[in-house]
Amino acid sequence: MLMIRLARFGAKKKPFYRVVVIEKERARNGRSLEVLGHFNPLTTPPVVVLKHDRLEHWTKNGAQMSDTVKRLVEKNPAPAPQPVA
């Protein structure tokens, strides 16, 4: 089963996370299929960058989001499409 979850990067006491698509059984920082964004909790306010189109693609194809990633997506929705002039 595919999961969309966080992989931890950064130095000790200075975490930085990538939002990745990965097999559920793999290690937290194991080889991922695709990087869908990143999350930096140390900045004020925390920085969240997501590729919403790719998130939608993977969830339509059966990937499950972790609880933390669901919360990040809900708090940082995709920007509304701009009308074409």
CATH code of 2-75, in short, is 3.30.1320.10
Question: Maximum Cα–Cα distance for the chain, whole Å?
Answer: 49
pLDDT in tens, 22-46: 999 888 888 999 999 999 999 999 9
Tell me the residue type at 73: V
Cα separation, 6 vs 80, whole angstroms? 25
Phi first, then psi, for residue 13 (nearest 5°) are 70, 5
Predicted local confidence at residue 80, as pLDDT: 79
Predicted local confidence at residue 82, as pLDDT: 81
Predicted local confidence at residue 12, as pLDDT: 95
Mean pLDDT by 10 residues, the chain (85 residues): 94 95 89 94 93 94 95 89 78
Q: Provide the whole-model pTM.
A: 0.87
